[in-house]
Amino acid sequence: MVKIFQCLEDPRPVIRGTAVWSIGELTKKQPDQAIDLLYELQEKETDTDVLQELKETIMMLETRKKDM
């Protein structure tokens, strides 16, 4: 996971977006920490594609959290 978190700081939007997606996939069963992290990232992200990935991943994790 450390490498994935490092990718969140990558200058390339496609790498950041893929890292966001990966975190969502890896934390489906315990989404709380990932949700908090993704909301923080959403506040500082500027790329529209990465913001869209953040939005979709947060929604997916929030839904899974409710279903637990």
Domains of the chain: which residue ranges? 2-67
Return the pLDDT at 17: 96
Residue 2 banded pLDDT, cuts 50, 70, 90: confident
Predicted TM-score (pTM) of this structure = 0.81
Closest CA to 39 of 20, 18, 26: 20
pLDDT of 1 higher than 90:
no
Residues 34, 26: Cα–Cα separation, whole Å: 9
pLDDT of 21 higher than 90:
yes
Return the pLDDT at 29: 78
Return the pLDDT at 46: 96
C-alpha dihedral sign at 58, 30, 24, 45: positive
**Class (C level, CATH) for 2-67:** mainly alpha
